[in-house]
Amino acid sequence: MTPALKPVLIASLLALLAAPAMAQPAAAAPAAQATTAMAAVSAPAVAKHYAQLVQASYEDTLAGALTLQKAVQSFVAAPSDEGLKAARKAWLDAREFYGQTEAFRFYGGPIDDKNGPEGRINAWPMDESYVDYVKDAPDAGIINKRKTAISKKQLASLNERNGEENIATGWHAIEFLLWGQDLSTTGPGNRSFEDFVDGKKPNADRRRQYLQVVTELLVDDLRGLSKAWAPTATSYRAKFERGGMESVRKMFVGLGSLSRGELAGERLEVALASQDQEDEHSCFSDNTHRDVVANAKGIQNVWLGEYKRADGSTLTGASLRDLVAAKNPALADRTSQQIAASVAAAEGIQAPFDREIVGAKDAPGRLRVQKTIDSLVQQSKDLVEAANAAGITKLTLVKPK
């Protein structure tokens, strides 16, 4: 019984004394909020559980994308308003899971190594005229160029060709096809199902084909990721699980880079500065407020080693938090609290995001977005400190001198 009681005792002592400067002998303090009766967690255990969590996340995303694919198939078979709405709902549902997987980016893993599909899956912001007609340009886009073949290979090759906004594939290309340009200040894009009906809009046949093909490509890519993280002898996962502290380092790089550069920076600060919906992550569907929450949640999942699956069950196990707590429980707690504050702040951002970012400095929406940014920035600093406490310094961030 003693090993299980010890961490609790130390945690209470710490709480009572509130002594942040207190030195922590590495062996004396396992997890501050121990979820298991184990002694200090090991790097291999943390890497192993992470791998499990990653695979579960991609599996849930893949399941969501397959549901989307079914909805798309029935919609293009017989376009209708209900069919379009069903496809939109399936897209929104699947995004809840994909957003959480973005915490697995930025360290050159399966999602973004040199063959990684990230750019095919989730590139943005999208120059929508690259794919289809837009206001004032009725002939724009690949769909209206009948000479261009619409195949998975061709669309993949056109994606990001000659420009990072030349997005032909992925979630946001599908989003544009399902919603259309967002020309409304109060709601999302309002594409009519008739865009997919022959005789109602030019090249409706190609629009149907495009939607179908691009969805299939997304499913393929997500399946590939799920495979890379499958527990087989030759998968990336096998290598990752053997990686020890190097794998832990990668996890930290992913969390820090998503917190500061991507989420706080590219997705929130840029939009806040420009006040332009072009800089909104999911601008066609007005789903950006959920993207932010899902990203913040994804970081929390990895940090805590917890993931709530699509079926409602929760995966738990050895985590970065445990690893850091063994060295510095106060820091681990502070980081947990900051990450929770970011999730809460993100949940406070209201839809539609393109209205939230507009206005004077003290506009309530802008303050809500700024609050989320501030929390994420603090969290990125905490994560650097946490990584350092765990003995990791080779990151993409250092503490400025």
Partner 1 sequence: MRKASLSPAARRRRAGLAWLSVAGLAGLAFWASAGVAQDSAAPDDEKTGGDTTVFATGHNAFSFPLANLPDEERTRFVIGNSFFKRNWVQAPSSTTARDGLGPHFIARSCGGCHVQDGRGAPPDFTRGLSEQPVGLLLRLSIPGKDAHGGPRPDPVYGDQFSNFAIQGVMPEGQISLRYETVHGKFADGTPYQLQKPRYGFSKLNYGAMAKDVMLSPRVAPQMAGVGLLEAIPEAEIVRNAQEQAALDGPVRGTVNQVWDAPTQQMRVGRFGWKANVATLAHQTGGAFLGDMGITSSFFPNETCTPAQKDCLAAPRGAQGKAPEIDEKTFNDVVFYESTLAPAARRNPGDAQVIQGQKLFAQAQCAACHRPSYVTGDIPFPRLGSKAAQGQTIWPYSDLLLHDMGEGLADGRPDFLANGRQWRTPPLWGLGLVPDVNGHNRLLHDGRARGALEAVLWHDGEAKASKDKVLQMNAKERAALVKFLESL
Quickly list DSSP for 275-336: --GGG-TTTTTT-HHHHHHHHHHHHHHHHHTEEE-TTS-EEE---HHHHHHTT-HHHHHHHH
**Cβ 334 to partner 1 shortest distance, Å:** 17
- Residues with Cβ within 8 Å of 185's Cβ and at least 6 positions away in sequence, in order, are 354, 355
- Cβ–Cβ under 8 Å, residues 353 and 365: no
Nearest to 91 by CA among 121, 69, 118, 114: 69
CB of 90 to partner 1, least distance (A): 28
Query: Which position among 39, 197, 351, 377 is part of the footprint of partner 1 (CB under 8 A)?
Result: 377
Is 394 a binding residue for partner 1 by CB under 8 A? The answer is yes
Q: Is 148 helix (H, G, I), strand (E, B) or coil?
A: coil
Asked if residue 269 binds partner 1 (CB under 8 A), the reply is: yes
Identified binder of partner 1 from the candidate list 201, 261, 308, 309, rule CB under 8 A: 261
Q: Does 127 bind partner 1 (CB under 8 A)?
A: yes
C-beta of 98 vs 124, nearer to partner 1: 124
Contact 225, 58 (CB under 8 A): yes
DSSP-derived secondary structure letter, 137: B
Task: Please tell me whether residue 147 binds partner 1 under the rule CB under 8 A.
Answer: no
Span near partner 1 by CB under 8 A; candidates 23-31, 34-42, 200-208, 272-280: 272-280
Q: In terms of CB distance, is 25 or 163 closer to partner 1?
A: 163
Q: CA–CA separation, 221 vs 116, rounded Å?
A: 9
Q: Does 25 engage in binding with partner 1 (CB under 8 A)?
A: no
| Binding positions for partner 1, 149-168, rule CB under 8 A | 157, 160, 162-166
Kindly state the smallest distance separating residue 394's Cβ from partner 1, in Å: 4
Name which position in 5, 82, 135, 138 contacts partner 1 (CB under 8 A). 135
397 near partner 1, judged by CB under 8 A:
yes
Q: Is 113 in the site for partner 1 (CB under 8 A)?
A: yes
Q: Are 90 and 287 in contact (CB under 8 A)?
A: no
The span from the CA of 91 to the CA of 388, in Å, is 39
Q: Is there a contact between 55 and 29 (Cβ–Cβ < 8 Å)?
A: no
Per rule CB under 8 A, count of chain residues that contact partner 1: 46
Which CB sits closer to partner 1, 153 or 200? Answer: 153
**Alpha-carbon distance 177 to 171, whole Å?**
10
Report phi then psi at 200, rounded to 5: -95, -30
> Least separation, in Å, of the C-beta of 260 and partner 1?
7
Binders in 282-321 for partner 1, by CB under 8 A: none
Helix (H, G, I), strand (E, B) or coil at 266: helix
Cβ contact 271:280 at 8 Å: yes
Q: By CB under 8 A, which span of 23-31, 254-262, 303-311, 313-321 interacts with partner 1?
A: 254-262
Nearer to partner 1, 82 or 164 (CB): 164
Among residues 120, 206, 260, 368, the one that binds partner 1 under rule CB under 8 A: 260
Residue 274 beta carbon to partner 1: minimum distance, rounded to whole angstroms? 7
- Measured between alpha carbons, how far is residue 10 from residues 19, 24, 60, 326 in Å? 12, 10, 38, 11
- Confirm or reject binding of residue 228 to partner 1 (CB under 8 A): no
User: Could you say whether residue 401 binds partner 1 (CB under 8 A)?
Assistant: yes
**Joined tokens for residue 57:** 């996340």
118 contributes a contact to partner 1 by CB under 8 A: yes
63 vs 131, which CB is nearer to partner 1? 131
Q: Using CB atoms within 10 A of its CB, is residue 149 exposed (0-12), middle (13-18) or buried (19+)? A: exposed
Kindly state the smallest distance separating residue 377's Cβ from partner 1, in Å: 6
Could you count the other beta carbons within 10 Å of the beta carbon of residue 349? 20
- Contact residues for partner 1, defined by CB under 8 A: 105-109, 112-114, 116, 118-119, 125, 127, 135-136, 157, 160, 162-166, 249, 253, 257, 260-261, 265-266, 269-270, 273-274, 276, 278-279, 377, 381, 394-401
